[in-house]
Amino acid sequence: MNFAGTAARINPKDYDEIISLGNRCATTMMLRELGVYKQSYPFDYVPTTPDLILRWLKDSSSFYPERNVVRTKNGVWFGHFNISNNYDETILVFKRRFDRLLDALRSKKRILFVYSSEADVFNEMGNRYNRNYDTLLKIRKYIIDEYGYSNFTILAVHVNKNYSSFSNMVNLTINVHPSLLSDNMETHRDDITHEYKRELKKALAEVFCQTPS
C-alpha cells in the first residue's frame, strides 16, 4: 500500500471550515492528528457514502439513528455515539452539527471538504463498486447551484482510482495491492486499517506541506 505523491498543495489556513465527507472515521482522525481540524460536523466518525451525503445535504431527516439501533436502514453505523441513555442529547448534537454545516454553506464560507475512501478496501456499504467520484462531482455541482458560490475545495483521496484535479476539486490516490482488498467486512484486518491510515496521513500531510509524525 502506498501514496505515490502529488504536486497539489493546499494551505488549511486559507479556509474558514474543514469538513469531513467520510467515508469512514479515518478522515476526521487524520485531520485531527495533523492539527488542521477546527470543529465537529455531522459526518465525523460515521461510515457513509457520497450518495447518502448528497441526500442529506438536500434533506437531513433520514440521517438520524433510532434509539438503541446502532445501524440505520441506510447501513450507517453509529457505534461511536450514545444512542441509548443519552439518545435525545445525541440527536441534538447532530442537529447542531447540521445547522453549522448549512450555515457555513449559506454564509458562503471558504470550506475545505475532505473525503477519503478507506471503506473501498473492505467494500463497506458497497463503496468499492459505487460510482463515488461521480457523486462527489454531483455534490460539487449541488453546492454551486444551491448556494450560488464555488469558493470551496473538495479534496478526495481515492483507492486504486486516478482522476485529474481541476477547479475546486483535488484528487489523490492511494494504491492498495489486490491481495489486501476484501469484499466482506467480516474479513476486516486491523493491520490493513492501520496501514491505510498511515498512507492517508502521509497524503494529507504532503498536500498540507507538513511532515507527518
DSSP sequence for 72-117: -TT--B-TTS--STTHHHHHHHHHHHHHHHHHHHHTT--EEEEEE-
β-bridge mates for residue 112, sequence order? 18, 153
Tell me the residue length of the chain: 213
- Per-domain residue ranges of the chain: 2-61+95-207
Q: Give the pLDDT score at 184.
A: 78
**Which of 169, 164, 137, 131 is closest to 153 using CA atoms?**
169
pLDDT at 26: 95
Q: Residue 212: is its pLDDT beyond 90?
A: no
Q: What is each CA distance from 163 to 38, 111, 198, in whole angstroms? A: 28, 21, 22
Q: What is the pLDDT of the chain when averaged over all its residues?
A: 95
pLDDT above 90: residue 188: no
What's the mean pLDDT in 155-176? 96
Per-residue pLDDT reduced to its tens digit, 97-112: 999 999 999 999 999 9
Categorize the per-residue pLDDT at 4 as very low, low, confident or very high, splitting at 50, 70 and 90.
Answer: confident
Does residue 114 contact residue 155 with C-beta atoms inside 8 Å?
A: yes
Per-residue pLDDT of 71-101, as tens digits, reads 999 999 999 999 999 999 999 999 999 999 9
29, 23 contact by CB (below 8 A):
no
Query: Strands 2-3 and 17-20, how do they pair?
Result: unpaired
- Rounded CA-CA distance 85/76 in Å is 20
Amino acid letter, 95:
K
pLDDT of residue 195: 95
Q: Could you count the other beta carbons within 10 Å of the beta carbon of residue 12?
A: 20
pLDDT recorded at residue 213:
67
Per-residue pLDDT at 185 exceeds 80: no
The pLDDT value given to residue 124: 92
pLDDT digits (tens, 9 = 90+) for 8-63: 999 999 999 999 999 999 999 999 999 999 999 999 999 999 999 999 999 999 99
- pTM of the full predicted structure? 0.95
Do residues 136 and 50 lie in contact, with contact meaning Cβ atoms separated by under 8 Å? yes
By DSSP bridging, strand 169-175 and strand 2-3 are antiparallel
Give me the mean pLDDT over the 172-193 stretch. 88
Burial class of residue 210 in the structure, from the number of CB atoms within 10 Å of its CB (0-12 exposed, 13-18 middle, 19+ buried)? middle
- Asked if residues 156 and 169 have their Cβ atoms less than 8 Å apart, the reply is yes
For residue 157, the 8-state DSSP code is: E
Q: Domain 2-61+95-207 adopts which CATH fold?
A: Rossmann fold (3.40.50)
Distance CA 62, CA 42 (A): 13
